[in-house]
Amino acid sequence: MRAGVWLIGARGSVATTTIVGALALRAGLTEPHGCVTAHPDLSSAVLPGFGDLVFGGHDVASLALAKKAELLAAAGVLPASLIDALGDELAEVERELRPVPDGATQAEVAAVLVADLLAFRDRYALDRVVVVNVASTEPVPSPHPAWSSLPALTKALAGPEPVLPPSSLYAYAAFRAGCPFVDFTPSTGARLPALAALAAQAGLPYAGHDGKTGETLLKSVIAPMFAMRNLPVRSWSGVNLLGGGDGANLAEPGANAAKSVSKQRVLGETLGYVPEGNTRIEYVADIGDFKTAWDLVTFSGFLGARMRLEFTWHGCDSALAAPLVLDLARITAGAHAAGRTGALTDLAFFFKDPLGDVPHALPAQWEALRGFVAGLSG
Ligand SMILES: NC(=O)c1ccc[n+]([C@@H]2O[C@H](COP(=O)([O-])OP(=O)(O)OC[C@H]3O[C@@H](n4cnc5c(N)ncnc54)[C@H](O)[C@@H]3O)[C@@H](O)[C@H]2O)c1
């Protein structure tokens, strides 16, 4: 199966690392470390291979992809040798990147987005195109009455006022173009009743929200341990320091709030109660794409003994995220091919704020994912 991966935010750090990584895998220049679909338990002939993925996308920025890759290499995210070796392939992807269109109404903008997606699918004779949102996190938008039904939304989009936040307009365009949609960010995306109705009408699957790559990943492993050992967690506080474009954007209060809500969900749902404490995100330009998370957990043991756990996570954000974007593109393409529609709740393993009423403990999410991928072959 040849599948297109259309990245929203295609010139950002996660997108560029995803593209360089996929091209390097196709050329046999790297190993699929960090790609969970390379795990033997998830291997499946129904998923497109890493080398079968073709890339394109939209971005508001115009910095050349190769230039962005050079910046990431200088920051220690990518090996510089890959950029030289993959020059022709990167130039080909560059030709498939489009600016975000303008229009008098959001319906007009969506029509151009749809046309871009259909032209990409036809140019490469792709079996399907998965749209993946890796654009900057948006502030939480004010609700609009037209979100509640597809007819109301269709009507409102033709009016002069913006109705949807950009992430949701991309989801709308994806569904109108017959493409599955994955949201790797905490933005609203497809999480609106009108868009769920559109996905159902078009017979399309979608997945999200907010890739789980660092502190929340550790929480989803450690919190179940406290729950299973019946050790009451008294407080759980974390500070995340990050730089890069994501860090700069998350310094904005609106985007920061959207991310912090997404990060907190795991504790309440895994422990069954919310301990004291908060998660803070701070921008430190100097650390670039490398994130540090410090967490302090206090808990009670037998006879009330007070204990504490502290951990520090130093992660390279884009190197952790990019392989998951490839996994999500492969699995969502496989799900579409297998006729799956609606919210792909079994993909909760990948997300901080997963769709549906699903377990938040990583081992349970892994079992759900294994079962889901195995079921696609049937
Ligand atoms: N890196 C991780 O571990 C991780 C984990 C979970 C979620 N995320 C999310 O992934 C997203 C991307 O992260 P990043 O580090 O690549 O950020 P980045 O700032 O490097 O890239 C974001 C890109 O989105 C583009 N963009 C902004 N608004 C747009 C719009 N309306 N349409 C199209 N493009 C738009 C920007 O120009 C930029 O190129 C963020 O939302 C981040 O929160 C990242």
Give 203 Cα–ligand 1 centroid separation in angstroms: 28
The residue whose C-alpha atom lies closest to atom 12 belonging to ligand 1 is: 134
Per-residue pLDDT tens, the chain, 378 aa: give them. 999 999 999 999 999 999 999 999 999 999 999 999 999 999 899 999 999 999 999 999 999 999 999 999 999 999 999 999 999 999 999 999 999 999 999 999 999 999 999 999 999 999 999 999 999 999 999 999 999 999 999 999 999 999 999 999 999 999 999 999 999 999 999 999 999 999 999 999 999 999 999 889 999 999 999 999 999 999 999 999 998 888 888 778 877 776 667 666 789 989 999 999 998 889 999 998 899 999 999 999 999 999 999 999 999 999 999 999 999 999 999 999 999 999 999 999 999 999 999 988 899 999 999 999 999 987
Alpha-carbon distance 165 to 142, whole Å? 9
Peptide bond into 33 cis (omega under 30): no
What pLDDT is attached to residue 253?
A: 80
Give 300 Cα–ligand 1 centroid separation in angstroms: 39
Alpha-carbon distance 13 to 17, whole Å? 6
Give the SS3 label for residue 45: coil
Give 246 Cα–ligand 1 centroid separation in angstroms: 6
What pLDDT is attached to residue 252?
A: 80
| CA 259 to ligand 1: nearest atom | 43
The residue whose C-alpha atom lies closest to atom 25 belonging to ligand 1 is: 9
Alpha-carbon distance 133 to 175, whole Å? 13
Taking Cα atoms as reference points, which of 215, 210, 166 lies closest to residue 186? 210
Give 97 Cα–ligand 1 centroid separation in angstroms: 15
What are the Cα distances from residue 242, in Å, to 156, 249, 291? 38, 10, 5
The residue whose C-alpha atom lies closest to atom 17 belonging to ligand 1 is: 246
DSSP 37: G
Taking Cα atoms as reference points, which of 294, 320, 287 lies closest to residue 309? 294
What pLDDT is attached to residue 68?
A: 98
Rounded to two decimals, what is the model's pTM? 0.95
Is the CB of 16 within 6 Å of ligand 1?
A: no
Give 290 Cα–ligand 1 centroid separation in angstroms: 15
Alpha-carbon distance 146 to 193, whole Å? 10
159-197 CB burial, b ≥16 within 10 A, e <16: eeeebbbbbbbbbbbbbbbbbbbbbbbbbbbbbbebbbb
What pLDDT is attached to residue 254?
A: 77
Is the CB of 249 within 6 Å of ligand 1?
A: yes
What pLDDT is attached to residue 262?
A: 63
Give 114 Cα–ligand 1 centroid separation in angstroms: 21
The amino acid sitting at 327 is: D
Is the CB of 17 within 6 Å of ligand 1?
A: no
Is the CB of 246 within 6 Å of ligand 1?
A: yes
| CA 138 to ligand 1: nearest atom | 41
Alpha-carbon distance 289 to 276, whole Å? 29
210 contacts 262 by C-beta, under 8 angstroms: yes
| CA 315 to ligand 1: nearest atom | 3
What pLDDT is attached to residue 259?
A: 66
Give 19 Cα–ligand 1 centroid separation in angstroms: 14
Is the CB of 215 within 6 Å of ligand 1?
A: no
Longest dimension (CA), the chain: 68
